[in-house]
Amino acid sequence: MSVNSINNTTSTAAYTSTVQQNNYKKEDTTKAAEKDTSKDKGVVYEKGTTSSKKTYAKADVVARLKKDAEQRTSQLKSLVQQMMGNQGAKIGQADDMWKFLAKGDFTVSPEVKAKAQADIADDGYWGVEQTSDRIIDFAKALVGDDPEQAEKMRAAFEKGFKAATKSWGSKLPDISQRTYQAVMDKFDDWAGVKETA
């Protein structure tokens, strides 16, 4: 017997062993996949109702509103932190900032005051109209502009308003009260309450 025939036999045996191992792995994988699909019930089709309602690009609106709110809130916090830093106060948590502002025991520079007044003006980002519009747009986006869900969204808004009042530590400022009323009116319009009354 020659060395070449031994090498060929060894190579053939190694090749056969590798092929068999691969086949076993494929069988195991196939069986595992079959087991997984036997548990899977597949997609269940549920017939929905078709309507001619205006459709919202829910994910886009929600993402846009969240991003905008995060940026504006960050700007507001930065403004307050600068103001507090100039007075030797420090913020430990977000709630501390609101309680600090609620006390009203601080002074602001003319620049900060002008910026804040512009932001809360009737046409400002934090003004009654823009804020109430954003709240309603967000609520509509969450439920696909379904007026039948308006009361559910109204209840969520009221819960959030109560939580904000608690964080503030006392009754919220007048602008918050006016925004609350504007949101409630817009919920009424959305739900058709004023039309049916």
pLDDT of the residue at 94: 53
Cα gap 21→29, rounded to integer Å:
12
Closest by Cα among 68, 87, 168 to 180: 168
- Helix (H) or strand (E) run with residue 133 in it: helix 128-142
CA distances 64 to 129, 138, 196, Å, are 18, 10, 33
pLDDT digits (tens, 9 = 90+) for 142-156: 898 899 999 999 999
Average pLDDT rounded to a whole number, residues 16-22: 49
In 3D space, the residue among 77, 104, 72 whose CA is nearest the CA of residue 91 turns out to be: 77
Q: What is the largest CA-CA distance in the chain?
A: 105
- How much is the pTM? 0.58
Task: Give residue-wise pLDDT tens across range 172-192.
Answer: 999 999 999 999 999 999 988
Of 29-38, 111-120, 150-159, least confident by mean pLDDT is 29-38
* Average pLDDT over every residue of 150-177: 93
Q: Would you kindly state where each structural domain of the chain is located, as residue ranges?
A: 58-196
pLDDT digits (tens, 9 = 90+) for 39-90: 444 544 454 444 444 555 577 878 888 888 888 888 877 777 776 666 665 5
Backbone angles phi, psi at 170, to 5 degrees: -160, -175
pLDDT in tens, 115-132: 889 999 988 999 999 999
